[in-house]
Structure 1
Amino acid sequence: MALVAALGVVSACGGGTNDSPSATQQTGASSAAAGDSGPQFVDFRTVEPGSGAGLKLGYISLSEAVPFIKLVSDSIKKQAEAAGAELVFCDSQGDAAKALECARNFKTQGVQGYLNFQQDAKAAAAICQAGPQVPVVAIDIQQDPCQKAFMGANNDRAGFIAGEAVGNHAKSQWDCQYDGFVSLEQPEAGAVNEARMGGYRKGFESVCGPGSVKNLKKVNAFRVDMARTAVADVLTSLPGAKKIIVVGINDDSILGALAAARTVGRQGDVFVAAQGADPSSWCEIKSNPNWIADTAYFPERYGEIGIPYLIDLVKNKSVPANLLVNHQAVTKDNVEQLYQPSC
């Protein structure tokens, strides 16, 4: 996911201006891990044609230079057009000051509700104050105090899904016996990092049993270059290991891990799972037997949550506080059905 799969939501979607989205994602829900209290998500909703007629809506993009964010933006534009609403678009380019100007512009233009995907949660209060006092839907990052709803990743569940898949592989192929468990993380993402990466471990242990995550190495490596260096070091420290599990906060981290393994001829020793399932991962998922699973965030469908629910809010309809994506495991068995990769 090239920025917050999402962060990690940013390569897909980091904190600051990193190009990885998964890591910027700050979930608005204290959601349960899969299996604790039922599904924690809303369904995608294609807007009703004409439902936004006469409405002026706004959208603050995180950064159009990031592929994950561009997919989100295109989806929002498509759904706004289908609804018949006027959409005032503003790219913050990962800069809180620019996001503040976007909000001021929305106020000047009389925007009646807006989606806010700016990455600095600490700047949210000032942005809220500068903008029109209208319904706000936050995307992937908290926008208190003005958000009426939060939409985006359910990080616990997203991590759990991929971790469970890794556990199933480990159990069926190795009776849950392996050499190391490497977690490629983004610590500065805080609660997002803990939820997503902790979700991997919960999912794995749901299959292989409590305490089955062993020889755990947590590494700050959420970009391709960082992961390439970090995993090269891990492989050097495990010269005879043949079953090394590597899980990443986003797709970029795993692409870097695989590059490191290939450089030293050990691509068969690492078994990976990632978050985001952005286009950069599709061919690997399809053809690399060691890419066990990915978790889909569906940025190309974010507009099918953001626009219809924002229209509901503008029309004073009740909306859930948390509009979380229905994440799905992506494997070699379903990647073609979901995405039709050209490889």
Structure 2
Amino acid sequence: MGTTRWAGHRLPGVLAMVVSVLVTGCTTPTGPTPSSSAPTGVTSTPVTSTSQTAPSPSATSTTGWPAGVVTPFRTTEAGSATGKRIGLISPDATDPFSRAVTDSIIAETTTAGAALIRCDPGADGEFALECAQRLSNQQVDGWIVQRSGWMPGNSLCGAGPRTVPMIVVDGPPGPCTTATVTADDSAAGRLAGSHLGEYSIHDHDCRFDSFILITDPTESAASTARAEGIREGFRQSCPDRLEMPFTTAPGTTVAPPPTTTDPSQQSASSSAAAERARVTVVDTADQKAVYDAVQRAIGAQPDSGRILIAAVSDGPAFTAMTAVRSAGRLEDVRLVAVGADQRSRCEIAGNPRWLGDAALFPDRYGELVVPSLIDAMAGRSIPQAMLTTPQFVDVSTVSGSYDVSSCPENP
């Protein structure tokens, strides 16, 4: 089936409306549980299981919404939604992650044979409501909303289709949401942190001079979950090296205080604190600020100082590595991140200082969103909150998930 595009709009700066795959529902969810076997019309094909796959995560539930259920990617059966109309509200994202998610949803909708009606609101909340209103007049059988950060979900629910299923991707549920799909951010952080910790304990017995954590205030919930996961994962290998919580002013360097107020133990405690690495938290979405903060933190260390960097996403991680190169400190730095999107893959494949990423597979989201929506449209139960499974990829495994044959040896 084809994709329909809505051209033009009265609001300045708003991109065109495009027909895409989406299942929308504005009926209050009744708490479905996951099926014990693959539903009719789809074949279960989970992400390859390896020792680098995240353990079963414990997702934090939102108020009135169940904790997430780890749900495998599935193969969409060709023609399984022939004759159906799916609506999709998603911005024409400039970041690689969101763009990969949208492309994956569109591809899986095409495979399913559904007519996809896509509306692109950009960053305009008012136009997002118009998108929902237009979908309600298009007789869609279901709809998908990606990154519904424009406004509260109940506003979209009031404007959009009210009797068909709706799946929200990487956004909070509204009263009409049938299901949500998002990454398990805590598990992804733990994967990244544990691999950085394993490197540290094996390479230099957890002795290093600086730990730089790069977070993102624009994605506060995901960023916080990933940052805490990084800390937890790292402490599994190096439990006494990072006692400070990862919360401080942007770009501030802090050291943990003594852990006791007993004068007889102050000296030993102060000595132990001195052995712990200083933690620099860079909490900004501005890439120049990331670059400058990383250069300052590196410059404060001796020429031979060991420096560890962890980032909650690939954009700032790539910027941090650029700052490391400019400072001439590649040999002293080891980095991990969360995402494994297009920006990081060549670094992982060819730069031994980039130890790897907790991959979130945005290019496969459609393999979960679209089959689940088709199930819901057919009246089959799906989990209300679905989590994708992160997997750590490094130089030895990245080529198993992505084509890195054209990457330079030393990016």
TM above 0.5: yes
* Paired amino acid for 1:120: G
Task: Tell me by how many angstroms 1:36 deviates.
Answer: 6.3
Distance in 2, Cα, partners of 1:218 & 1:203: 17
In structure 1, stretches of 5+ residues that fail to align are 1-32
Distance in 2, Cα, partners of 1:117 & 1:37: 23
Distance 1:273 1:221, change over 3 A: farther
- Corresponding residue for residue 233 of structure 2: 203
- Corresponding residue for residue 94 of structure 2: 65
Query: Where in structure 2 are the equivalents of 1:215-294 lying within 5 Å?
Result: 215-240=278-303, 242-294=305-357
Distance in 2, Cα, partners of 1:335 & 1:122: 37
Distance in 1, Cα, partners of 2:323 & 2:355: 18
- Corresponding residue for residue 13 of structure 1: none
Distance in 1, Cα, partners of 2:318 & 2:219: 20
1:53 to 82, 89, 94: 82
Distance in 2, Cα, partners of 1:144 & 1:40: 18
Distance 1:259 1:293, change over 3 A: same
SS in 2 for 1:203: helix
Q: Deviations over 1:33-70 (max 9, x none)?
A: 94666995211111122221221111111334332222
Distance in 2, Cα, partners of 1:159 & 1:239: 28
> Contact 1:162–1:294 at 8 Å: present in 2 too?
yes
* Paired amino acid for 2:110: E
In structure 2, stretches of 5+ residues that fail to align are 1-53, 60-67, 244-276
Distance 1:335 1:235, change over 3 A: same
* Paired amino acid for 2:84: L
**2:224 matches 1:161:** no
**2:367 matches 1:304:** yes
* Paired amino acid for 2:333: V
**2:179 matches 1:149:** yes
SS in 1 for 2:193: helix
SS in 1 for 2:78: coil
> Contact 1:222–1:248 at 8 Å: present in 2 too?
no
Bigger Rg over Cα: 2
**2:152 matches 1:123:** yes
> Contact 2:173–2:179 at 8 Å: present in 1 too?
no
Q: Which moved more, 1:204-213 or 1:178-187?
A: 204-213
* Paired amino acid for 2:132: A
> Contact 1:312–1:319 at 8 Å: present in 2 too?
yes
More helix by share: 1
Distance 1:112 1:98, change over 3 A: same
Distance in 2, Cα, partners of 1:36 & 1:91: 33
- Corresponding residue for residue 182 of structure 1: 212
> Contact 1:242–1:269 at 8 Å: present in 2 too?
yes
Q: Which moved more, 1:262-271 or 1:186-195?
A: 186-195
- Corresponding residue for residue 13 of structure 2: none
Task: Tell me by how many angstroms 1:229 deviates.
Answer: 1.2
SS in 2 for 1:271: strand
Q: What TM-score, normalized to structure 1?
A: 0.85
User: How many percent of aligned residue pairs carry the same amino acid?
Assistant: 34
- Corresponding residue for residue 128 of structure 2: 99
Distance in 1, Cα, partners of 2:287 & 2:109: 34
Distance in 2, Cα, partners of 1:222 & 1:270: 22
Q: Which moved more, 1:195-204 or 1:59-68?
A: 59-68
Task: Tell me by how many angstroms 1:209 deviates.
Answer: 2.4
Q: Deviations over 1:76-135 (max 9, x none)?
A: 111111111111111222322222111111001011211101341643221111001121
Distance 1:44 1:104, change over 3 A: same
Distance in 2, Cα, partners of 1:52 & 1:304: 14
Distance in 2, Cα, partners of 1:250 & 1:37: 21
CA RMSD of aligned residues (A): 2.0
Q: Deviations over 1:14-41 (max 9, x none)?
A: xxxxxxxxxxxxxxxxxxx946669952
